[in-house]
Each structure stands twice: as structure tokens, then as C-alpha cells.
Amino acid sequence: MEPNQVTVLIADDHPLFLAGIRRTLEEVPTLQLVAEASDGEAALRAIEAEKPALAVMDIRMPRLSGLQVARELRQRNLATDVIFLTMYDDEETFNAAMDLGVMGYVSKESAVNDVVAAIETVVAGRHFISPLLMDLMVARRSQPAVPLRQTLPNGISPTERKILKLIAESKTSKEIAEAFSISQRTVENHRAHISSKLGIHGSYSLLKFALENKAHL
């Protein structure tokens, strides 16, 4: 590797798209492609082994999604910055990515044109959002602040409160199951019951709630 080169991993389960991103990055002398992966588990292993400065990943991959990989990187205190590639303009997924500290969000429709700019922007310490996806950032910024709940609903049990606290620490369902010596299915049932009691929907909404109310759990 040449001095001052930025090390990059790329991951996508579509071979042709992955090849296109590879060709684009190989044309940039300041970038060094150190690993490729076609699923989330392989991407996570490669990041642990190679410790690249950046991981450019499809947000939806087999075995582990991009969001799950990003969460694992955060839990393991790995310094690799993440740039997501996506075909979707789903607001909930975008917010979940931002809450996990993801630095870049690139539309696959414009990835060949945007990915190098995204890498350069993130290396400089700034967020990058593809112009095609900027409406998601506008929506996120325009959302009213969610007031912290000083107390949880009366129906939340002590066990569910403890599970919420672990969720706020970005623990996976598997890790929570191990902490309580229960099955992962039981943890998922707890999560569903908590969401129902709070009147929210989706695992990322529960994570968002837990993070926003962490100080009161």
C-alpha cells in the first residue's frame, strides 16, 4: 500500500454491481481496496481481519444486513467508518443507519458517480448523502424532537426494563439471551411485547426509543 492511501472494503451480494464499484475505486490512486465480501458475515470477518478505514456496503445483504454489521462494529469498538449503498429511500432504515453512526448513504442509482465523493467526504470527517436521497435527511431534520419519557408505562416489567437497557447498549438479541440465560426466541417475544406496550412498531423503532430514553432506564 502506498503512503496516505485510504483502505477500503466493499460488500454487495450482486456480483456485477460489486465489480462496477471495484473498477471505480481501482481508478483512484489514493484508495486501496483491501477486501471484498458478498454477504454480511463475510464483510464483518474481513473488517475484523483487515481493519479498513472504510467499509462500503449494501444495506441489504444475506446472513447479516448492513445495519447488523454496523451495529456489530459499534459494539466491538472497531474504527471502520461505514458507507451504505441502497436502492431504497426508506425513512425508518435511514434513521436507523444515522443512529448507528453511519457516515455515508449512497443511492445505487448514482453509486458509480457518488461513491468516490462519498469516500472523500467521509475521510474528511463529514457525512455524505447522495443527492437522490437528500429528502431523507430533510425529513430527519424536520422531525420534532421526541421528548424523553421520564417514566415507562406501568405495564413494563422489571425484566423488560432490563432488556430495554441492554437494547440501548446496542446488544443483539443473542447477547441479551445469553445475559438472561433464555432463548433468543424468548428475547424476540419480549421485544415484541415491549413495542406493543409502547405503541411503536419495528425493531429499529425500539432501538431508537431505547437510545433516546437510555438515561431513564
DSSP class of residue 109 equals: G
Note the pLDDT tens digit of each residue in 31-73.
999 999 999 999 999 999 999 999 999 998 998 998 899 989 9
Note the pLDDT tens digit of each residue in 64-94.
998 899 989 988 888 899 999 988 767 777 8
Residue 209 contacts by C-beta under 8 Å, 6 or more apart in sequence? 164, 198, 200
Whole-number Å distance between alpha carbons of 121 and 139: 22
Residue 150 has pLDDT above 70, yes or no: no
Q: Of residues 126 and 46, which shows the higher confidence score? A: 46
pTM, rounded to two decimals: 0.62
DSSP class of residue 127 equals: -
- Report helix, strand or coil for 37: strand
On whether the 6-142 domain is CATH 3.40.50.2300, my answer is: yes
Pick one of 3.20.20.60, 1.10.3720.10, 1.10.10.10, 3.40.50.720 as the CATH number of 158-216.
1.10.10.10
Note the pLDDT tens digit of each residue in 102-124.
888 888 888 888 899 999 989 98
The residue extents of the domains of the chain are 6-142, 158-216
Instruction: Judge residue 124's burial from the number of C-beta atoms within 10 Å of its C-beta, 0-12 exposed, 13-18 middle, 19 or more buried.
Output: exposed
Whole-number Å distance between alpha carbons of 108 and 102: 16
